[in-house]
Chain A
Amino acid sequence: MNNIIVYCEFEDGKVADVSLELLTKGRSLANQLGCKLEALIIGKDLKNAPSQVFPYGADVVYLADDARLEHYQTLPHSSIVIKLFQEQQPQIAFMGATTVGRDLGPRVSSALHSGLTADCTNLEIGPHTDAKSGKEYQNLLYQIRPAFGGNIIATIVNPECRPQMATVREGVMRKEIFDANHKGEIVNLDVNKYVKAEDFVVSIIERHIEKSKINIKNSPIIVAGGYGVGSKENFQLLFDLANAISAEVGASRAAVDAGFVEHERQIGQTGVTVRPKLYIACGISGQIQHIAGMQESSMIISINNDPEAPINKIADYVIVGNVEDVLPKMIKYYKQNSK
């Protein structure tokens, strides 16, 4: 049977959120296709890993457990994934669009000559007719993503090659428990059959990983700025408002590219996807690639001196004005009224 496999990232005893989100999506697609959902976990001390993924609907968990595999490395991890995919012939494979998945995915797709679509924002199943040959296909994976700098949305299919591979960024798919009591099969892989000694030619000399201090993904209120904020100095106004109303500061890609704030704050297809209860967009015009990462906010306020800015169409409130005039007033009247 050609199943769906999710490559699950595992670090410090935990399966990554992005992998659990992909399992959630994979479960619903597997139900639609009538196939199994499988998880592949590579790392060290994986005893507790299966119990973390079964509730998300995995029917089979492949484990490659070896001290040498503790941290992700391109060659050993890709050797395992490639060989397992050759053996299992999955129809669909998902990876997180992380520094791991974006390093691993293309390597695997090249070795298997299968199509890979990066940073998908939606995944669906549907039919396809090849425009040239007229050949019809059923149950293909629609890999949907903003393209061309986020100015259009493209649907990509892989009619002939398997697996159909896609990467998805953290936070794009929702993480939902399928069944807390769901149990599946555990398959322990004989690591030495999958990995060669020469796969370890690139060695990790040191690692400095810090817990990120910025947590936009889980903040209920976000004050986000775009290129229209104008400068790094003006961004301080956003931080001031965020401090006053206990919010996090986010940014559009244009603002990050312009150096106004750090990359960790980027919201959108190539940044973080957020679903806060309030999103205050300051000087953001609203390219698709940004909208893709915030459109599910419960309430959107857009502050823009251009009444025609595209983002205004999806905003609940549009304040027509300059960010540097409006934000100080918001801070002032919030403080006055909250007492």
Chain B
Amino acid sequence: MFNSKSKTQFYLKIYYMKGLKIIVLAKQVPDTRNVGKDAMTEAGTVNRAALPAIFNPEDLNALEQALRIKEQVPGTEITMLTMGPGRASEILREGMFRGADGGVLLTDRAFAGADTLATSYALSCAIRSIGEFDLIIGGRQAIDGDTAQVGPQVAEKLGIPQITYAEEVVKIDERTITVKRRLEHGTEVVAGAMPLLITVNGSAAPCRPRNAKRVMKFKNAATPSERTANPKLAEVAEGRPYLDIKEWGVANITCEAEQLGMSGSPTKVKNVMNIVFQAKESKVLGDTDNEINDLMQELISNHTIG
């Protein structure tokens, strides 16, 4: 198991640097890795309700890189940003349990149906509203789409450079960040001036677990909608501003409405199919010695193997 304490003692804290402002992009996704038979309806569409919603795995790798920078550069502040339905606030709390300072939930019906471009537009507008930043760090891709497009598109919309497939932040100083990237057949170390955007690969260090003290401190962190639904949460939050999770809709960010959601999406889903395999006439065998001996003889005699 990864132990953050033993790892961090190698870092020299950099006190002469002023703290950085980091925005971590995260997404709550259906756990498509464990799709059971009930996950598909008879009509061949996806039954989202049957899939657990999880913190997108590579976004956790991204959060870990941000937390390591925060340990190294005191005064660093990590704000998590996610777009999704109301319940996506769960991953913001999860991030706070692990060390993030706060979170913004971007939620509005107007964002619905967005492809990667409209998503990155909404996120980039929200980032401008959050204000100054030095780094934006997100996972390489989300497991419900596997596109790896939102990170670079956000970077382009903000007019900043990007470093994708990042595996480790190897060095950071006042102006420059040095990052090791994982490529198909090797690695590359690149350095760039901040502000910039980094997408983190699944091969990077796993995220540290929740911190028990932080769970106690932030378990009642909530969005305004959650407080409306549960007034007890509102009571607890009196005089505790750190429990505020920001909840923004279209009205809270500066954006052009037609660039959002469906209307802002150049790609359209023409159709979705449950694939029916071209069934072959398969020969079914048991696992007895005789049957496997016969099969191997056949494969050898028709030169499939050997």
Question: What is A's interface to B at a CB cutoff of 8 Å?
Answer: 71, 74-75, 78, 98-99, 102-103, 105-107, 109-111, 113-119, 128, 130, 142-143, 147-161, 201-212, 221, 245-247, 253-254, 257, 263, 269-270, 277-278, 287-288, 291, 295, 299-302, 307, 310, 312-322, 325-326, 329-330, 333-334, 336-338
Question: Are B144 and A315 touching (Cβ within 8 A)?
Answer: no
B52, CB-defined interface residue at 8 Å: no
B238 to chain A: closest CB distance in Å? 43
A49 to chain B: closest CB distance in Å? 20
Q: Is the interface of A mostly helix, strand, loop or mixed?
A: mixed
Question: Are A314 and B278 touching (Cβ within 8 A)?
Answer: yes
Complex Cα gap A245–B303 (Å): 12
Q: Which residue of B lies closest to A257 (CB)?
A: B33
Q: Is the interface of B mostly helix, strand, loop or mixed?
A: mixed
From A150, A203, A277, give the contact of B191 (CB < 8 A).
A203
Question: Are B292 and A319 touching (Cβ within 8 A)?
Answer: yes
- In this complex, the member of B266, B268, B278, B280 whose beta carbon has the largest number of chain A beta carbons within 10 angstroms is B266
Q: Which A residues are CB-close (under 8 A) to B89?
A: none
From A114, A148, A204, A338, give the contact of B188 (CB < 8 A).
A204
Complex Cα gap A159–B255 (Å): 24
Question: Are A157 and B32 touching (Cβ within 8 A)?
Answer: no
B235, CB-defined interface residue at 8 Å: no
Question: Are B277 and A310 touching (Cβ within 8 A)?
Answer: yes
B306, CB-defined interface residue at 8 Å: yes
B230, CB-defined interface residue at 8 Å: no
Q: Which residue of A lies closest to B274 (CB)?
A: A152
Question: Are A207 and B46 touching (Cβ within 8 A)?
Answer: no
B271, CB-defined interface residue at 8 Å: yes
Question: Are A153 and B187 touching (Cβ within 8 A)?
Answer: no
Interface residues as binary, B280-299 with A (CB distance below 8 Å gives 1, 0 otherwise): 10111111010111011101
Additional 4 contacts, C-beta under 8 A, given A202-B196, A208-B188: A118-B149, A149-B32, A155-B273, A212-B185
From A118, A206, A211, give the contact of B147 (CB < 8 A).
A118
Complex Cα gap A159–B270 (Å): 10
Question: Are A208 and B187 touching (Cβ within 8 A)?
Answer: yes
Question: Are B296 and A118 touching (Cβ within 8 A)?
Answer: no
Complex Cα gap A200–B222 (Å): 43
A248 to chain B: closest CB distance in Å? 13
B251, CB-defined interface residue at 8 Å: no
Closest 6 CB pairs of A and B: A149-B32, A321-B287, A115-B266, A202-B192, A115-B267, A161-B266
A197 to chain B: closest CB distance in Å? 13
Question: Are A314 and B279 touching (Cβ within 8 A)?
Answer: yes
Q: Which A residues are CB-close (under 8 A) to B296?
A: 330, 333-334, 336-337
A117 to chain B: closest CB distance in Å? 6
Question: Are B35 and A151 touching (Cβ within 8 A)?
Answer: yes
Question: Are A313 and B279 touching (Cβ within 8 A)?
Answer: yes
Q: Which A residues are CB-close (under 8 A) to B116?
A: 106, 116
From A119, A203, A245, A312, give the contact of B146 (CB < 8 A).
A119
Segment at the A interface, from B102-110, B126-134, B151-159: B151-159
Question: Are B147 and A329 touching (Cβ within 8 A)?
Answer: no
- In this complex, the member of A106, A277, A301, A314 whose beta carbon has the largest number of chain B beta carbons within 10 angstroms is A106
Q: Which A residues are CB-close (under 8 A) to B45?
A: 152
Q: Which residue of B lies closest to A98 (CB)?
A: B184
Q: Which B residues are CB-close (under 8 A) to A212?
A: 184-185
